[in-house]
Amino acid sequence: MRILSLLLWTPAVGALLLVFFPSHQVRGIRWLANGFGLLSLLLACYLLSLFKPSDAGLQFSEFFPLNPNLGSAYALGVDGLSMPMLMLSALLTSVSLLASFSINSAVKGYYLCILLLEFGVTGVFMAQDWALFYIFWEVTLIPLFFLIGRWGGKRRHAASLNFVLYTMVGSVFMLLSLLAVSQYDLHHAGSLMTSMHQAAQDMPLYEQILVLAGFILGFGVKLPIFPMHGWLPLAHVEAPAQVSVLLSGILLKMGAYGLIRAAVMLPEATHILQPLLIFLALFGMLYGGLLAWRQTNLKGMVAYSSISHMGLVLFGIASLNEAGLNGAIQQMTAHGLVSGALFLLLGLLYLRSHTMSIQEYGNLLPIMPRFACMMILALFAGMGLPGFAGFIPELHTLISCLQTWPWLIVFFGIAILISAAYLLRTLTRLFTGPNPAKLVDANDLQSHELLASGVLIASIILLGLMPSRWIELSAGTAANFQHIINQRIAQK
């Protein structure tokens, strides 16, 4: 079995073994799931070591025809866009599994859903066939529905139903767009991404615009783009913290990933709709930031901040230039790590306090020094300060803005100030003032909790201090995307 298939099917094999594992052996279930999560991470690291950033094309390609009549195939491959996402998904899944020792109800089902979710997400980032991509996209819906609806908070049923309805509506528009492009495939090459790129060139411009609008609706639900974000705050607040790590860290990136693929396939339509995408990006940055500022629920604050930060990703995509596209890919990685760390730490805090209201906290520094150290670093990273992973993507996106629309820099400045305001408020509320009476005897982070959060914080700092390899990872692919986009637009 080749490396991509091995990485893809490892969590699926783990899930299959869990099915036959005795439900009462909770300790064995935990270690089995964590073992397969760690194995996936090691395989992703090995894949990263083999990856050649200078090669902008697909690498480690695998191809096997599934239905010659329809042209669908088991086609896998990675480039500078999918490689960072594969590393991110493997790392966050492993961290989430490590932090899940507090889950005590239906343990077998919980770990089964986590591994199935990793299988679906990995498939999305590897698939080089749109039909296969769509199948994996839908696979992620099932485990997430149960993870939120079974192990969530008081309003978990409403949150899971909301998530499913939004996602299914978006999936319908995505499917319609894919079917529309396939009608122009005169050579019957099927649903391979390369053949669909060729087919899209034969479409009239007005049809390309309609198809791209369908993709924006489909991927915009997951991104999320205003006003398709309605499912996100409730899902984050009600989902277990370990699931929120995956929801914010990986699932939102699926939307951005798909939109980049669609924009490169339909650059003429993207160029026409560029002003709309820029407006939605800037509005999302300001809207998400202001609502995050207004939140008293800590998880709600991080959820709305995700809308703001993913607006930065959308802006990079809409810029259609190398700096913006590379910045968008980097921001996807950085936000996944930072939001994952914040949700994880807030979940660990909730286990001790049983409240997410910021007004009920005080100075936790002398009570939980290890937690305080991790949380302060995560909050600084969320502000995009130099030395942390979020700084470089913001810089790249600002450069792309200055290259094309320098006057929009004002809105960037406002969004950054708002972000700093609500994160500094959180920092001062949690680590200054009187000690909270209800947490005087609270335990600090345990060894496995410290390891889980420490891995994320270390990754954030490592990417911030030594970003060259990280930048190179996607630079070649971003340059190739810009070349394709410029060539197609020039032809029209």
Cis previous bond, 224, omega within 30: yes
Task: Take residue 134 and report the two structure tokens written for it.
Answer: 């769509």
Contact 289, 415 (CB under 8 A): yes
Hey, where are the domains in the chain?
A: 273-492
* 59-67/72-78 β-pairing: antiparallel
Q: How far is CA 95 from the centre of its chain?
A: 15
Task: Take residue 488 and report the two structure tokens written for it.
Answer: 């197609």
Per-residue pLDDT tens over the stretch 222-264: 989 988 888 998 998 889 999 999 999 999 999 999 999 999 9
Phi, psi of 433 (to 5 degrees): 85, -165
Question: What is the spatial distance between Cα 210 and Cα 334, in angstroms, rounded to a whole number?
Answer: 32
Question: What is the spatial distance between Cα 274 and Cα 200, in angstroms, rounded to a whole number?
Answer: 18
**The 3-state secondary structure of 125-148, one letter per residue:** HHECEHHHHHHHHHHCHHHHHHHH
| CA angle centred on 322, ends 318 and 326, rounded to 5° | 80
Please provide the DSSP assignment of 65-101 as one string. EEETTTTEEEEEEE-TTHHHHHHHHHHHHHHHHHGGG
Q: pLDDT 10s digit of each residue in the chain, 492 long?
A: 699 999 999 999 999 999 999 888 989 999 999 999 999 999 999 999 999 998 888 899 998 887 776 677 899 999 999 999 999 999 999 999 999 988 888 899 999 999 999 999 999 999 998 889 999 999 999 999 999 999 988 888 999 999 999 999 999 999 999 888 877 765 545 556 777 777 777 788 888 999 999 999 999 999 899 888 889 989 988 899 999 999 999 999 999 999 999 999 999 999 999 999 999 999 999 999 999 999 989 999 999 999 999 999 999 999 888 889 999 999 999 999 999 999 999 999 998 888 888 888 888 888 899 999 999 999 999 998 999 998 999 888 888 888 888 888 889 889 989 999 999 999 999 998 787 777 777 788 889 999 999 999 999 999 999 998 889 999 999 998 998 888 888 776
